[in-house]
Amino acid sequence: MKFASPSLALVAICAATVSLANTAMAAGEVNLYTTREPALIQPLIDAFTKQQDGAIKVNTVFVKDGLLERVKAEGARSPADVLMTVDIGNLVDLVDGGVTQPIKSATLESVLPANLRDAQNHWFALSLRDRVLYADKNLPITQFTYEELADPKWKGKVCIRAGQHPYNTALIAAKIANDGAAEAEQWLRGVKANLARKAAGGDRDVARDILGGICDIGIANSYYVGQMKNAAAGTDNRKWGDGIQAIRPTFAKTGGTHVNISGAAVAKHAPNKSNAVTLLEYLVSEPAQALYARANYEYPIRANVQQDAVMSAMGPLKIDTLSVVEIAKYRKQASQLVDKVGFDN
């Protein structure tokens, strides 16, 4: 019996690998690595699959933490096609970490204004989320500024999640970008002095604790209001959502509300690059943007897409004039400031 030489065996293995890869691509696949909760993006994935008549299958990998580190470790062998995450800082980290690639898409460039995509087209915004005020529904509040969170009249009445959470780090970074580090520090010390409890938990916990009488006001993302009021949210969540009013605060200097984004990029070694671009183009389409608004209660990046009624009840969204990229530059300084004032202690 004759055995193939090692070199011939290697050729055979390589050929088999190439064949499998080609089969996967022929089958129409796209591999999505995402830090977003699976339940939040599944309606979008289902709609994309239907729109494509099943021609492109989306394989979703939920990565709670360490997305950049995982893709780096996988290197050129990484099966990742699309990297999806929340917070502009996370998107910038992916680009700076060298795990993304620029792509050319007339659709993405025409739909997204320059402030909602990377200058070299490495990342693209898919939805907006504003940081709003949750307040006891019986309080007579119609307008509010972020600066008022530090007003002594709210001493012992403010609830918020950890300052080191990306949602709050971004807000603090926006405050630094708007008013400078010294004023931001004074403001953050004032907010800390007004806390009713330790800065911890999640955004829904702010609503829970307002209903429970622990605090009167708090800061949280707007879309949680829609999620809590949803009929399928469960009894407790609906009680929390019905127990608050949500108001869009503004910065005193600009008169704009702080927003962050969810977004995505094409991975540097994407084996299904064309399908990855197709998925991103779908996610900025009107049907997908309507799903972001209706199913996720997020703010669509398309102005002509109707917002969910719960979100519309908060009033019009006037976005802070600072670009999210500019705000992201101050993330590290914001994180250091949180530690300096002992906000989470």
pLDDT digit string, tens, across residues 290-341: 999 988 899 999 988 988 888 888 888 999 988 888 999 999 999 999 999 9
What's the confidence (pLDDT) of residue 24?
Answer: 40
pLDDT of residue 38: 84
Bridge partners, 86 (sequence order): 262
Residue 132 scores a pLDDT above 50:
yes
Confidence of residue 12 (pLDDT cuts 50, 70, 90): very low
Q: Could you tell me if 159 and 209 are in contact, meaning their C-beta atoms sit under 8 angstroms apart?
A: yes
Residue 240: pLDDT above 90?
yes
Q: What fold is seen in the domain 130-258+312-340?
A: D-Maltodextrin-Binding Protein; domain 2 (3.40.190)
Q: Tell whether the model's pLDDT for residue 10 goes beyond 80.
A: no
What's the pLDDT score for residue 27? 61
- Give the span between the Cα atoms of 324 and 125, in whole angstroms: 10
How much is the pLDDT for 177?
95
**Which of 321 and 269 is assigned the larger pLDDT?**
269
The per-residue pLDDT for 128 is: 93
pLDDT at 332: 95
- pLDDT mean over 64-78: 96
Condensed to tens digits (0 to 9), the pLDDT of residues 140-193 reads 999 999 999 999 999 999 999 999 999 999 999 999 999 999 999 999 999 999
Tell me the domain boundaries of the chain: 29-128+259-307, 130-258+312-340
Instruction: Write out pLDDT tens, residues 194-238.
Output: 999 999 999 999 999 999 999 999 999 999 999 998 877 789 999
Q: What is the pLDDT of residues 41-69, one digit of tens each?
A: 999 999 999 999 999 999 999 998 999 99
The residue count for the chain? 345
The whole-chain average pLDDT of the chain stands at 90
| Homologous superfamily, domain 29-128+259-307 | Periplasmic binding protein-like II (3.40.190.10)
pLDDT for 7 beyond 70:
no
Burial class (CB in 10 A: 0-12, 13-18, 19+), 17: exposed
**Has residue 343 got a pLDDT over 60?**
yes
Q: What is the pLDDT of residue 295?
A: 85
What amino acid is encoded at 246 in this protein?
A
State the burial class of residue 57 (Cβ atoms within 10 Å of its Cβ: 0-12, 13-18, 19+). middle
pLDDT (0 to 100) of residue 69: 97
Q: What confidence tens digit (pLDDT) does each residue in 100-109 have? A: 999 999 999 9
- Provide the pLDDT for residue 26: 39
**What pLDDT shows up at residue 223?**
93
Closest residue by Cα to residue 244 from 159, 168, 161: 159
Confidence check: pLDDT of 11 > 50: no
Region for residue 170 given its phi and psi (left: phi exceeds 0; alpha: psi -120 to 50; beta: otherwise): alpha
**Coarse DSSP helix, strand, coil percentages of the chain, rounded to the nearest 5 percent:** 45, 20, 35
